[in-house]
Amino acid sequence: MKRYVLIVAGGQGLRMGKELPKQFLPLAGRPVLMRTLECFYDWDAAADLILALPTEQEAYWQMLCRELDCRAKHRTVAGGATRFQSVANALALVEQPGLVAVHDGVRPFVTAALIEACFEEAERNGAAVPLLPMTDSLRETIGQGLSRPLDRRRFMAVQTPQVFRSEYLVRAYRQDYCETFTDDASVVEALGVGIHSVAGDRRNIKITHPLDLLLAEALLNNPS
Amino acid sequence: MKRYVLIVAGGQGLRMGKELPKQFLPLAGRPVLMRTLECFYDWDAAADLILALPTEQEAYWQMLCRELDCRAKHRTVAGGATRFQSVANALALVEQPGLVAVHDGVRPFVTAALIEACFEEAERNGAAVPLLPMTDSLRETIGQGLSRPLDRRRFMAVQTPQVFRSEYLVRAYRQDYCETFTDDASVVEALGVGIHSVAGDRRNIKITHPLDLLLAEALLNNPS
């Protein structure tokens, strides 16, 4: 079955005085986003990689790919104003039926084993996401500075890649955007498709906060 | 107002063939638990520190304190079979009215600023916990390998220290144990007390997984 991978890179542009978007931060000399793409290339060099990137970052990205000799062949499409729109734009390049992964550009520690597990589960059941048990206790905010407790055993943290049969994902992204769409699984299940899970990987971190970059460097120096 | 700090250290004993409990792992030569205690001592040397520790770990801990010259004066009490029982045991040493913090022994990066903020909020409002917005998307498991999405904006991760007026905490821990007690705040609010919040700190990590130890070492090498 044909395998597509949509990599979504967001972040605020590259204007003066702004921070460099997280996907361009160097990890041991190689940008986070390039590492992420290369994880998928190393998993399956025949997979069709499509990168959704803000238009204003395109020239900078092409320069990085040339200078650092990015080995992961990929196509780019213009990112949208929202993650939802970026995925919809990338989906326009999915021409054949198959399986489609959506992955955060800032998760550069995804393993071939996790990617393969998600694709296999999606092939069997149509939709698969990696889930991890919560480590922290959780509370729900209820206004006025107050909150109430939740039983964390019922809750799981969701990672990417999230993998779907292409017909589900294409149909899902024809829906109007809705505030409850927090990730691709939530868009697909609005069609009534059940979301299956595979065991997530704690090393598959999302580089969001400055602290995550510290952890990323430590992970690079301590391969599992 | 008199200030107490109850530090809870759990983990499986020190028997042959078992892993060393996380609280004894060395961070740059100093055990996690000793660093945690010293954070509170450095915040307020007059605070009354009480450590709940499994009985079988007591001799080992005393040896560590002697050898490494732990500067945080503290009393120890026997830990119970559950965290709930450990806190109840430590509370028996809280003889005067005041404010009582409960803190995880494996959170050695708590800052004086966060401790002080929690105590101040608890002095004003009776009960205060540090909360952080969720980074990950969340799903709720619904059985048969399926799950449903949740709006993460309503959910917060809870850290420690959790600080309470002593009369609330003492009364709370006279209740029978209940499965919904996931942290001290949940025990106190079963009395009907509202839980207030302060902004948590991403560096205030809980050392739970092997990955956390990598991050802890990186944090030590990169003070904020």
Q: What's the token pair of residue B102?
A: 């409960």
pLDDT at res. A17: 58
pLDDT at res. A18: 64
Residue of B133, B188, B182, B184 whose CA lies nearest to B162: B184
Contacts of B118 in chain A (CB under 8 A): none
Q: What's the token pair of residue B145?
A: 């390998």
Q: Do A159 and B136 touch (CB under 8 A)?
A: yes
Least confident of A180-184, B2-6, B65-69: A180-184
Q: Is the pLDDT of residue B116 over 70?
A: yes
Q: What are phi and psi of A42, to 5 degrees?
A: -70, -30
Q: Is B194 at the interface with chain A, CB within 8 A?
A: yes
Q: Give dist(CA A73, CA B209) in Å, integer.
A: 35
With beta carbons less than 8 A apart as the criterion, state whether B89 and B79 touch. yes
Q: Is A183 at the interface with chain B, CB within 8 A?
A: yes
In a mutagenesis test of the B interface, which of A106, A118, A139 is the best target, namely the one with the most B β-carbons within 10 Å? Answer: A139
Q: How far is CA A178 from the centre of its chain?
A: 19
Q: Is the dihedral of CA A88, A89, A93, A95 positive or negative?
A: positive
Q: What's the token pair of residue B89?
A: 């045991």
Contacts of B218 in chain A (CB under 8 A): 214-215, 217-218
Q: Do A215 and B217 touch (CB under 8 A)?
A: no
Q: Give dist(CA A52, CA A71) in Å, integer.
A: 18
In 10 A of CB A124, how many CB atoms? 9
Percent of chain A's residues with pLDDT above 70: 96
Residue A148 β-bridge partners: A140
With beta carbons less than 8 A apart as the criterion, state whether B207 and B107 touch. yes
Extended beta strands in chain A, E state: 2-8, 26-27, 30-31, 48-53, 75-78, 98-104, 127-133, 137-143, 146-150, 155-158, 162-165, 196-199
Q: Is A185 at the interface with chain B, CB within 8 A?
A: yes
Residue A30 β-bridge partners: A27
Q: What's the token pair of residue B121?
A: 């909020």
Residue B23 DSSP class: G
Q: Are strands A48-53 and A75-78 parallel, antiparallel or unpaired?
A: parallel
Cα-based angle A198, A202, A207 (whole degrees, multiple of 5) = 115
ipTM of the complex: 0.81
Q: Do A196 and B145 touch (CB under 8 A)?
A: yes
Residue A155 DSSP class: E
Q: Render pLDDT for A116-170 as a digit per residue (tens, 0 to 9).
A: 999 999 999 999 999 999 888 888 888 877 888 888 888 899 999 999 999 999 9
Of the candidates A137, A141, A208, which has its C-beta nearest B182's C-beta? A137
Q: Do B139 and A194 touch (CB under 8 A)?
A: no
- Name residues 30-69 of chain B within 8 A of A (Cβ): none
Residue of A164, A181, A33 whose CA lies nearest to A91: A164
Q: Give dist(CA B3, CA A209) in Å, integer.
A: 33
What is the distance in angstroms between the Cα of A133 and the nearest Cα belonging to chain B?
10
With beta carbons less than 8 A apart as the criterion, state whether A64 and A1 touch. no
Q: State chain A's mean pLDDT as an integer.
A: 92
Q: Is A136 at the interface with chain B, CB within 8 A?
A: yes
Q: What's the token pair of residue B218?
A: 């990186």
Of the candidates B140, B145, B218, which has its C-beta nearest A215's C-beta? B218
Q: Is A81 at the interface with chain B, CB within 8 A?
A: no
Q: Exposed, middle or buried: residue A224 (CB in 10 Å: 0-12, 13-18, 19+)?
A: exposed
B-chain residue closest to A187, CA distance = B149
Q: Give dist(CA A88, CA B189) in Å, integer.
A: 45
Q: Mean pLDDT, to the nearest integer, of B66-80?
A: 96
Q: Give dist(CA B172, CA B166) in Å, integer.
A: 10
Residue A5 DSSP class: E
Q: Do B214 and A215 touch (CB under 8 A)?
A: yes
Of the candidates A147, A158, A195, which has its C-beta nearest B156's C-beta? A147
Q: State chain B's mean pLDDT as an integer.
A: 92
pLDDT at res. B198: 96
Q: What's the token pair of residue A118?
A: 């998600």
Q: Is B180 at the interface with chain A, CB within 8 A?
A: yes
Q: Do A159 and B151 touch (CB under 8 A)?
A: no
Q: Render pLDDT for B119-156 as a digit per residue (tens, 0 to 9).
A: 999 999 999 999 999 888 888 888 877 788 888 888 89
Contact residues for A79 (Cβ-Cβ < 8 A; gap 6+): A8, A9, A10, A52, A53, A54, A55, A85, A86, A89
pLDDT band at B16 (very low <50, low <70, confident <90, very high): low
Q: Is A157 at the interface with chain B, CB within 8 A?
A: yes
Q: Is A190 at the interface with chain B, CB within 8 A?
A: no
Q: Do A218 and B215 touch (CB under 8 A)?
A: yes
Contacts of A140 in chain B (CB under 8 A): 154-156
Q: Give dist(CA A68, CA A85) in Å, integer.
A: 29
Q: Give dist(CA A49, CA B201) in Å, integer.
A: 37
Least confident of A61-70, A90-99, B154-163, B176-185: B176-185
Of the candidates A139, A157, A203, which has its C-beta nearest B136's C-beta? A157
Contact residues for B159 (Cβ-Cβ < 8 A; gap 6+): A136, B107, B129, B130, B131, B132, B200, B201, B204, B206
